[in-house]
Amino acid sequence: MTDSWSSSGLDVHLGWQPSTGRRGLAAAIRTAIREGRWQPGAAVPSTRALAHDLGVARGTVTRVYADLAAEGYLRTAQGAPTRVATAGSLPQSAPRQAPRDPAPRWDLRPGRPDLTAFPRQAWITATRRALLRTPAAAFGYESEFGAPELRDTLAAYLARSRGVVADPERIVVCHGYSHAVAVLSRALSGLGVGEIAFENPSFGRYRSIAAAQGPRVVGVPVDEHGIDVSALASPAVVVTAAHQYPTGVTLAPPRRAALTRWATESGAFVLEDDYDGEFRFDRQQVGALQALAPERVVYAGTASKTLAPALRLAWLVLPRSLVEPVRAAMADSGSRPVVLNQLVLAELIDSGAYDRHVRRSRAEYRSRRARLLAALPDSVRPRGIAAGLHLLLMLPADGPSEATALAACRRRAIGIEGLSGYWMEPGGPGGLIVGYAATPKHAFAGATQTLVEALWEITS
């Protein structure tokens, strides 16, 4: 299928080959936008129309549109068609064969675990056991909402480790957290939810994914006690209650109570993104918010921080009223996590190997965080509780800018992120988001020393 014309009336003319799959379709649309065949500001075909014309699942087109919206090629708005971004806001074209940016020598990017610590031997053992114990029927098409073995295991694990109120029938297993955000946003949109609130600051990609499903996205401020519950006026909100990303604060007990009371009284839904809840270092882990209002809070967890992002495993624990709408959105998305990975994770948890790995990782990350804090110059102010895989460094008010700090890090081949990119509008405070988990253990001392040298350069 080298050319396609949309039944919506727009000449799509993509030159897309089905064999290239979703990534090829995204690349074809990018090219059409860059070459002006999809003109700036023009409405694009609906996901249903384009899927029909190309002969693909609607979920494939939905994911492509969400990716392109996150990249800045498309823009979405509540109650309006998806459109090509205006000419001034389109991303700069890149050479077709441009190589990927090389990995930084010193990897202090946030949100990444130490991949060299992946429990390979335990995974191999769990794989062997899962293959020997699993009937052939488990590898069919029946487990579209998650392998029953993993859903049973997660219900028990989440209850004892995070205090989540769950039963297997209220759990769906998703193809990563991005997929979870997409299917939940689509389900909520189908129920008439026209607006979803996100913490401000927060990760922009997830905001774009939610907006691509139909709802309007708005921001709610965060302070040292977490999200400002008094500012909420939306029928749904996404929160990182245990360890706000990226500021690192935890939602204070009075606000936890206020948030669940607000959701219960208003009929709103809360998505609790518990992305690194297993990693609290200074005290007992904070229990899940979901336990306070299981019929209003959707709990989201993932294996990306405890094991590896490449597993593409995340899960939602749903209120009863959302089970069928989310299952319908899952079926429409056409995306499924690998069944074997689900079965192996279930075996890893049941055997106790997962808990042992988490304990080892927690001890290692606690040590790294302490060493990093001890080495920092006094002029740099760390923020956030002792938890997770990152901390936030605020620069002196009368000192160097975030751009200056990032430039000093780049000169030393340090991979790091700035806070300014997480605000929903320009002009928010700057800072450095330092991930202390991604660097292999043997290189952490060198990464820390190099970062300290960069900070001394710009603050002394």
pLDDT per residue over 182-194, tens digit each? 999 999 999 999 9
pLDDT at 60 over 70: yes
- Which of 59-63, 237-241, 399-403, 407-411 bottoms out in mean pLDDT, i.e. has the lowest? 59-63
Length of the chain: 460
Give CA angle at 150 (337, 356), nearest 5°: 105
pLDDT tier at 96, thresholds 50, 70, 90: very low
pLDDT tier at 48, thresholds 50, 70, 90: confident
Residues 398-418 have a mean pLDDT of 94
Residues 269-294 have a mean pLDDT of 92
Buried b (16+ CB within 10 A) or exposed e, 222-246: beeebbebeebebbbbbbbbbbbbb
CA-CA distance, 117 to 112, in Å (whole number)?
Answer: 12
User: Which 3 state secondary structure label does DSSP give 273?
Assistant: strand
Contact indicator for 163, 156 with CB cutoff of 8 Å: no
- Give 151-190 as a 3 state SS string: HHHHHHHHHHHHCCCCCHHHEEEECCHHHHHHHHHHHHHH
pLDDT tier at 88, thresholds 50, 70, 90: low
pLDDT of 6: 45
Residues 78-96 have a mean pLDDT of 66
pLDDT of 93: 52
pLDDT of 7: 43
Nearest to 301 by CA among 280, 315, 318, 319: 315
The architecture CATH gives domain 18-89: Orthogonal Bundle (1.10)
User: Which 3 state secondary structure label does DSSP give 455?
Assistant: helix
Contact indicator for 58, 48 with CB cutoff of 8 Å: yes
pLDDT at 220 over 70: yes
pLDDT of 395: 87
pLDDT tier at 100, thresholds 50, 70, 90: low
If one compares 15 and 439, the residue with the highest pLDDT of the two is 439
314-325 residue pLDDT tens: 999 999 999 999
The model carries a pTM of: 0.79
pLDDT of 95: 44
Looking at domain 118-354, does it have CATH number 3.40.640.10?
yes
Contact indicator for 330, 183 with CB cutoff of 8 Å: yes
pLDDT of 79: 66
CA-CA distance, 281 to 437, in Å (whole number)?
Answer: 14
Domain boundaries, the chain: 18-89, 106-115+359-459, 118-354
Nearest to 273 by CA among 181, 365, 140: 181
Q: What is the DSSP string of 394-432?
A: EPPTTS--HHHHHHHHHHTTEE-EEGGGGSSSTTPPP-E
User: Comparing 18-89 with 118-354, is the CATH topology the same?
Assistant: no
Contact indicator for 192, 219 with CB cutoff of 8 Å: no
pLDDT at 225 over 50: yes
Which superfamily does 106-115+359-459 belong to? Answer: Aspartate Aminotransferase, domain 1 (3.90.1150.10)
